[in-house]
Every structure is written in structure tokens, then in C-alpha cells.
Structure 1
């Protein structure tokens, strides 16, 4: 801890003295992700949701309701409403995340204004539903993935995730459904139901962007010959393996358990290797949301 604090202090002093860049490559990549996410989000709202006479969830949904009812531009209403939510969110989210979120809110309002006159002419409302949900999910997912939000229900979703241990996508869906229900004041039941479908697509795409882009799988292997399998995984697949101590609950027999986090592309090869040398091995494959560090062979 002392070493870490010294390093952080040294880095800060270097930045302050102008010896180190204040913006790293990762910072610039995050900024680009926010800009792209805000643009895709605006495309979803202005080119598909509004032309299809559909609603939305969160602040953008409230902005669309205000548009339908009072003809006020979503670029203005989203900026005002999100500003109020940012005041609340500043108390609950990290300062780094809030900086990115403020930037995302500004970019989203800017792009909503720029794309306000854009439209895609379609004669099939389901195209608006599908592509509207797709672009909203891509935009939200890109921004949330780097630790920011597009404010609105997304910021409430991060608060719920932090304190209630609820998946961000599920929390956002709940808040969005509340706003969609309010949309019954300006939309027909059919339009609201179509909006729900679009929001479902939005959540699934966002969930994939946040948690499903990591091409990793975690494999737990219980074998009678773990030593041999571990060496084969090292030599034939070239991947690191962790060996853990285990004990059968019923038999009380102690046995080593292999644990591997591997690229999805090598999963089939690993399964074949296990089946070839130990057909009775018990194998469990789990999805991995995030991986930090390196593989050790």
C-alpha cells in the first residue's frame, strides 16, 4: 500500500510538473468511445424512435414525451433533465465516472441537436423498433463499458448496481418501463408495446456490449489425473492452468481441481483434449465478464 501510494504521488507530481502526459492513450480511447456512443444513441432516437412515433426509456423517453406534448427539442430537455440527475449521481458515483458522464451528456445533447433533422424513411414500424433498439443499445453500451453513463436511467442503474447488486441492464430496464408507462399519456397502447420491444432489444444489446464482448471462458476440471491434464493444457494448448485443492463431500476424497480461463476460440480444442485423455472428467464452463492480468503457463 505504501509503495502504491508513493507511485501514485510520483505520477501525480510528474503530471503536475509536465513530465508525464495528463491524458493517456486509454483516456483518449475512452473519450472517443463516449463520442461514438453518444452519436449512435442520437441516431437511434432521431432516425428511428421518433420517426416511428415510438417512445423510449429514461430521460430520453421523458424528452420524447415532452416533444410530443409541447414540441420542445429533446436536445434541450435531455440536457436539463440529465443535469438534474447528475447533481444526484455525483454523490454516488466515482469522480472519474462522473467526468466521463458529464462529457457524455454534453455530447448526447449536441448530437441530438445535430441529427434532429435527419430521418430514415421506412414503411414498416418494426424496422424502427429493431434498429432503434439496436442503436440505443450500442450507444449506451459503449459509454457504460468505459465506466460512464448517458445519465438518465443509466445513472440510476449504476447506483442500483453499486448498492443493490443488480445488473445494470436489468435496473435500467425497470426504470425505463416506468417512463414507458408514463408514455401512455401521449402514445397509443400499440406504440407503447412496440416501444417495450425496442427497449428489450436495447437492453440485450447493451448487456452484450457491457458483459458479453470478452471472449473468455472459465473452465473448472475435476479429473482423476489432474497432473497429466494440466501438463497437456500447458504443452499442447500453451495456456496457463491453476491447480486448487478440493475434497468430495460424499466420498471425502481429496483431489486437485484444475481452473483455466481461456479464449473462446480455444474452448473446443480444450474439450477435445480433455475427452481424449479423460472421458470421465467433470467439466464446468462459465462465462467470464472481465479478465485482468496475464495468463501464466
Structure 2
């Protein structure tokens, strides 16, 4: 990697991380903390401790994330741990010294939705910058290697415990609104990380594969991969099969409808199935319209 490219990547990561810190600070200081609302993960644990024992939220966030930063150094890498520790310290400094509006609204529905949106934007941007403002993923990664549950199931279990404690200590309505905050934040994180142009893998099996390949490459400008297979094996003619090229390509979900229409125009009997791709890079992919 050239020096200029490395500098550009580093500056981009720093920009994402700084913006993520500012958004998270805004969500905490102006929405969640003044209204005694919670989120999931380590942030939720920090907010719960702050509300129950009235410790300063800035210091609580650092202390709660510290074990997960250390864990991240072993489970991910030391660079990730250093970036994450700096980001969390930056978030704490923002909470201590930046003059955020103290309380924008007391409407519980607005707080739960927009607090979650701004928190999700912040965490998502930090992840794009190569660090984490919430260490729950690291814990799930560590635990998932030792028990049979998936990472998602582990995170869900931890969050259930957090919201149950909130319900007992602070009342069921607060816990329910906080669940809405967590859901909004998690959906926003997915949008920030994956973007509007989430990629979709498309597999096409057709007797008109030559025309379909030409259409994908020349009309849609997509790269394709060909698998050699056989089609046939019907119930009434199981012994009859024919060689076929199985076509695989990657499109954005905005282009998926157009692709299906064009394929079915060539071959109405074509078999198409799709799969969600969380991230794609290289090959013949159109440049994303946004980060």
C-alpha cells in the first residue's frame, strides 16, 4: 500500500470515528441521560449504573468498556483495541466538556426514536472507522467460541438481562421505551454500515444462459461468475439431464427488480434465487453512491 493511500485511509477512519463520537455524545447528553432512557449493550449497562448510583456517565462508560477493550486486543487485534480505547475516551471527553443541549424533549416516544437514531448513527460511523463505541460485540465474539450459541443470541440474551433489570428498578414503561431505543439504534447501525445499496447475490439457472450472460455484462455492466452444472432430473424423466451454466452475479437491491424483469423477458422459466451479501469489494462492482 502506498503512503498516500495509507494516509487517505487513516484520515477517513479518523473522520468517521470523530463524527461517530459526536453523534453518540449528542444522543446520550441530549436525549437518553436526561430522560433516564437506556440502550442495549455496554452503553445500556453504563446508563443503568449511572441511573441507579448516579456516577458520572463519562467515567462509567470508560470503566464499563475497559474489560472489553482488553478482550478486543486478543480477540480482534491490538490496533482495534487502541482505536476503540481512544474513541471511548474521546466520547467521555465530549460528555464532560462539549456544550450539548441538555434536554431537547421530554416526549418519551421522540426520545426513544431519535435517541436511538443518533446513537445508531454514531456507533455505525465508529464501526466504519475501524473501532467500536460499544464493547458488547467483543464479548459475544469471545463467548461464542466457548458455547454453542450464536453471537446474535448472546447479544440478545445480555440485552434481555439489561432491560429486565431496568424494568424492575425503574419501571416497565421505561424498559419498554428503552427497547424501542435499542431497536431503532440497531436498525440505524445496519443502515450506516451497509448503506442504502446493500448488495444481493443473484444465482440464475436457465437454458438461455448465453443470452442472460450477455445481458448482465453488456447491458447491466455487471461482473459474472459461471458454475458448471446440470439441469433436469424431473420426476417424470429423472434419467434425463442437460449441462448448464449457472450464472452468479452481485447487484444492489435497488437493481434487483430490473435484473429479474430482464431475465424473465429472456426466459420466463428461469430459476432465480437471491442471498443477502453483507459486504462486497473488488471485482466489477459499481462504486457506492454513499459511505
Q: Shorter-chain-normalised TM-score: which range?
A: 0.7 to 0.9
Contact preservation (8 Å) 1:129, 1:195: yes
Which SS does the other structure have where 1:245 is aligned? strand
Contact conserved, 1:68 with 1:186, CA < 8 A, in 2?
A: no
2:274 match: secondary structure: strand
Cα pair 1:86 1:151 within 8 Å, conserved: no
The CA deviation at 1:160 is: 5.1
C-alpha displacement at 1:129, in angstroms?
Answer: 0.5
Q: How does 1:152-171 map to 2 (within 5 A)?
A: 152-159=135-142, 171=154
Matches within 5 A, 1:149-188: 149-159=132-142, 171-184=154-167, 186-188=169-171
Q: Is the 8 A contact 1:157 1:171 kept in 2?
A: yes
Task: Check if 1:91 corresponds to 2:60.
Answer: no
Distance 1:167 1:149 in 2: 20
TM-score by length of 1: 0.82
SS state at 2:75 partner:
coil
Alignment of 1:70-219 (within 5 A): 70-115=53-98, 118-159=101-142, 171-184=154-167, 186-211=169-194, 213-219=196-202
Tell me which moved more, 39-48 or 115-124. Answer: 115-124
SS of aligned partner of 1:104: helix
> How many pairs does the alignment contain?
279
1:262 to 251, 262, 272: 251
Cα offset, 1:126, TM superposition: 0.5
Partner of 2:280: 291
* Alpha-carbon distance, 1:272 to partner: 2.4
Q: Does 1:272 align with 2:272?
A: no
Q: Could you say if the C-alpha distance between residues 33 and 200 of structure 1 is closer, same or farther in structure 2, counting changes exceeding 3 Å?
A: same
Higher alpha-carbon deviation: 160-169 or 65-74: 160-169
Q: Which residue of 2 aligns with 1:67?
A: 50
Match of 2:26 among 26, 43, 49: 43
Asked whether the equivalents of residues 217 and 287 of structure 1 are also in contact (C-alpha less than 8 Å), the reply is yes
Q: What is the Cα deviation at residue 162 of structure 1?
A: 7.2
Looking at structure 2, the residues matched to 168 and 35 of structure 1 have their Cα atoms a distance apart, in angstroms, of 27
Deviates more, 1:79-88 or 1:262-271: 262-271
Partner Cα distance (1:234, 1:158) in 2: 39
Relative distance call for 1:143 and 1:167 in structure 2 (3 A) is farther
Distance in 1 separating the partners of 2:183 and 2:57: 22
Instruction: Tell me, in whole angstroms, the C-alpha distance in 1 between the residues paired with 2:10 and 2:151.
Output: 23
Aligned equivalent of 2:7:
24
Pick closer, same or farther for the CA change 1:136–1:228 going to 2, 3 Å: same
TM, length-normalised to structure 2? 0.83
Distance 2:156 2:15 in 1: 26
Most deviating of 173-182 and 226-235: 173-182
Say what the alpha-carbon RMSD is for the aligned residues. Answer: 2.8
CA spacing shift, 1:51–1:80, aligned 2, 3 Å: same
2:35 maps to which residue?
Answer: 52
Contact kept, 8 Å, 1:234 with 1:241, in 2: the verdict is yes
Corresponding residue for 1:6? none
Structure 1 gaps, min length 5: 1-10, 15-19
Deviations 1:66-120 (A, max 9, x none): 3223322111111122223322332212222222211221112112223576323
Matched, 1:236 2:219: yes
Deviations 1:218-266 (A, max 9, x none): 2111111101211122222222222211124734432111111124443
Cα 1:195/1:32, change in 2 over 3 Å: same
Q: Contact 1:137–1:204 (CA<8 Å) still a contact in 2?
A: yes
Contact preservation (8 Å) 1:217, 1:264: yes
What are the superposed Cα offsets for residues 29-65 of structure 1, whole Å, 9 maximum, x if unpaired?
1111111112211211221112222123333323323
